[in-house]
Chain A
């Protein structure tokens, strides 16, 4: 990391240390701390160039922030908004880009539904926007990050990117086992949609890389918490961390977290992003499961955070395609 990036990491970590309260956040109606989100956007964590009102941060800075948010499991619109911003920046026409990016830079929650989308587009000639190719969308998008909250809602049908006015559709929060992540289902019924750009698989790769960074942060923190606990919990007259059966497992987990971090950082194209998603999903899930086991009974309580890490690990594994899905995709490359 550059000195600037280290400073950014410390700033985000300091902010989260002070203000992040996962339990309080998930009890709020929208599931995240709005003040904290405002402070984060002030620090400059969204990948939006200055010309569009952003801080000039790039994906490298966003990754750092996502890793920090992962560590504390802080519910935040960053993942969704970063993916939407990236899609706008790379795949849409200049006429839409500026308007939407400026709003995102100011903290408007944005999201792009791209993974579990089943919609059909019908061209509309009579759409009021004169400059834009426009359509009507029918269908539904599931597991949409912040989909019920987003002020800016983008949908991809696998060919184009559409901007849809949230006022023209119905959407609902769909709670999953991971309460720290906001997901929603969006129903589109003859919803006017502005065609703002073309879908590119590169957007998917970005999303996978971004999620991987978050997973690495969470895995790293879950391991740290476990190591700390096993240094202080005494059974048989010794800290349990002194038992080799546990030591070796934590050493293995450390190897896993470090290699996962490298995979997440290296993710920058179709293959490496898929590799990162699979590898970081498995790494985080392994660490979270061991976090539970190595804590013993206390990990089975609601009060302890182990179950939050475990549930996040499970949810993140499934988000944007399960490891099996990506492995299937990767197999094609292996055969080349």
Chain B
């Protein structure tokens, strides 16, 4: 495998690096009202440098970067300690779905606003009784004049406390479970929507419940065909589990910080764990480079999901053991790493997918 970069990519890398070096600054937590707006402003700044969505077509604010260049961008981004992406669920989950299933009108209307964070999107799939078993969801969309009326309850919707719009799955019938679902977009401030923020284990409202009471959605906000929502959603799930949401850059940067930490607090008893975590980050990088020609999607994305989420836990636990206490700088990342094996489909569900759909083990 040739991991050397071509001239264009090297030039791009240099541009990204120098831009980040002059612009990155620490922001408050994006799970607070002020912090959220700081992150929105940061996204706008990225967008004005055409760095918010590098892999997208130019007409929507991107620069048609190759997957390799995107990986390089991510490495630079995380190495610079740049802020978390408040727009991530729109950019990494909804946008690929619109590229695959949306209409030209939807792409033109939604994507540029997403790229500038004028609209920040939340994912509204899970429900209180439908977590791992997403296909059991009960919220409905009922036909009405010119569109649909949404009813029901969504939960654990990341950043919905402050976001503008949401993409969700609703039961339109006919048929049960994954049949008869439709993928719809709605406004979080529309009439009939109430959002109840939920405090996470750090005390900040990182996600929210969404109550929907006859919320009107116009026909042009249906993504894909009516009744085809499961298939449309599963294309997004592949992105969420796969490498787009959690690129190797994030873990390479964390592994680098861990090694630095070890240099300052050497503890032979922890040396192997530090090196294992570092190897894990390298392995994830090589895995994604290996997959450049066919990025992991579908069942293969489950392999990536299990790998990155468990690596993240190991990295942070090792750091905390080195430090002996939950020191700032690692604390928030550590608490958040706990959720990695749960969100984007729990690792138990990913293992079921790997066992049944890749290994072909009997159900």
Contacts and interface: CB of A to CB of B under 8 A. Distances in A.
B223 interface: no
A235 B321 contact: no
Interface in B273-306: none
Contact of B348 (A237, A243, A302): A243
A236 B348 contact: no
Interface stretch (B163-171, B255-263, B338-346): B338-346
A297 B126 contact: yes
Contact of B339 (A234, A300, A303, A327): A300
A176 interface: yes
A265 interface: no
A32 interface: no
A301 to B, nearest CB: 6
A177 B155 contact: no
Given A236-B133, A318-B325, A297 B320 contact: no
B270 to A, nearest CB: 7
A300 B324 contact: no
Interface stretch (B110-118, B199-207, B230-238): B199-207
B156 A297 contact: yes
Contacts of A243: 348
B361 interface: no
Given A322-B321, A324-B269, A296 B351 contact: no
A303 B324 CA distance: 27
Given A236-B132, A300-B339, A324 B267 contact: yes
Given A245-B351, A293-B342, A300 B267 contact: no
B80 to A, nearest CB: 27
A307 B202 CA distance: 9
A236 B131 CA distance: 10
Given A297-B131, A300-B338, A302-B199, A328 B269 contact: yes
B17 interface: no
A237 B136 CA distance: 9
Contact of B325 (A176, A297, A302, A327): A176
Interface residues of A, number: 28
B326 interface: yes
Contacts of A237: 133, 136
Contact of B133 (A176, A177, A235): A235
B342 A314 contact: no
A297 B324 CA distance: 27
Interface in B314-358: 320-321, 324-326, 331, 338-339, 341-343, 346-348, 351-352
B198 interface: yes
Given A235-B131, A293-B342, A327-B269, A301 B198 contact: yes
Nearest to B204: A302
Contacts of B131: 235, 296-297
B338 A297 contact: no
Contact of A324 (B207, B321, B346): B321
A300 B346 contact: no
A206 interface: no
A88 B203 CA distance: 41
Contacts of A303: 198-199
Nearest to A321: B324
Contacts of B351: 245
A173 to B, nearest CB: 15
B126 A302 contact: no
A293 B346 CA distance: 8
Contact of A318 (B200, B269, B324, B347): B324
B338 A324 contact: no
Contacts of A299: 342
Contacts of A301: 198-201
Interface of B: 126, 129-133, 136, 155-156, 198-201, 203, 207, 267, 269-270, 320-321, 324-326, 331, 338-339, 341-343, 346-348, 351-352
16 contacts: A176-B326, A235-B131, A235-B132, A237-B136, A289-B338, A293-B346, A296-B131, A300-B207, A300-B339, A301-B201, A302-B199, A302-B200, A303-B199, A310-B201, A318-B324, A318-B325
Interface of A: 176-177, 234-237, 240, 243, 245-246, 289, 292-293, 296-297, 299-303, 307, 310, 314, 318, 322, 324, 327-328
Given A245-B352, A296-B132, A301-B199, 11 more contacts: A237-B133, A237-B136, A240-B132, A289-B338, A293-B341, A293-B342, A296-B346, A301-B201, A302-B199, A322-B321, A324-B321
